[in-house]
Structure 1
């Protein structure tokens, strides 16, 4: 089941990144709640870490497949780019809030994904993930439903270390 979700996540990430052709991902290693993966996209390699939420609210709605990932795309000069992916369309022009311990980060939305609004804050978000205890995502569906997801940060530092030399 996790492999199916991973394949879906990769397909969505590939679509979101505008990459035309990619091969199936290879799982490098699992680090508690976070897995490290890679795949070949054209002549360059893409590496990422991914986790699924341990809690989803409200429990009464179908969230679909939900992921938080951080990707490295050296061929595009992209390093440690955080992304939220959900299994439903997000409300247009809405913001997603990522809270790590007491620190908030604002993400912009497009389709079913969200990225850090101010790219200069990406390193701060990744640093907060490495030292934080939990990560919470608050979003709003296209239908206006407020949703939230809680992730464990156990294993994130080791998973990120695993992909730091992605080339």
Structure 2
């Protein structure tokens, strides 16, 4: 059997490395559970409390920008804090102050507030609705505006989302 390495086959490995190094910066105990197509699932410990998260990076990034940092989305469960399905998006740039990010999955639209280079759902009900849509969707399109006025559109594949979501739920005892 011949192994072919393509840019597409390297994407999950790159996601794992980015997320692992990001988690390692905040916790020395981050551990990869498994990679499921475009999504990777992890467990970690912070201040002695276990949490689980999954993440992916865009399959396509559009925008007229000169420099952009790492871009990714995370879904996090923190059972010790009684939080689950916390969705956060890192833009790789500073968002325009007081701007919203729009997330489109199929025919559904969601708004997230911005703080620096991150976007968050307004409340836990929006987090839950967003993760529910992600479980049944195919692609997710995230549109935001940088502090310099640059419109960006990032497309995420949702292939592997449900399996990664189930893995972090099992690892953290969240149903």
**Of 106, 111, 132, which aligns to 1:106?**
111
Determine which structure has more spread, i.e. the larger CA radius of gyration: 2
* TM-score normalised by L of structure 2: 0.83
Superposed CA deviations along residues 115-163 of structure 1, whole A, max 9, x for unmatched, are 0123312111111001011001001111111111000000000000001
Superposed CA deviations along residues 40-90 of structure 1, whole A, max 9, x for unmatched, are 111211110100000001265332100011000111111111110122111
1:134 matched to which residue of 2? 139
Give unpaired runs (5+ residues) of structure 2. 1-13
Change (3 A) 1:152 1:81: same
Superposed CA deviations along residues 89-117 of structure 1, whole A, max 9, x for unmatched, are 11111100111111111100111101012
**Of 75, 80, 95, which aligns to 1:75?**
80
Would you say how many aligned residue pairs link Structure 1 and Structure 2?
Answer: 159
1:6 matched to which residue of 2? 19
Task: Give distance in 2, aligned partners of 1:88 and 1:105.
Answer: 20
8 Å contact kept, 1:9–1:67 = no
Change (3 A) 1:2 1:70: closer
Where 2:23 maps in the other structure, the secondary structure is helix
Give unpaired runs (5+ residues) of structure 1. 15-21
Alignment RMSD (CA, Å): 1.8
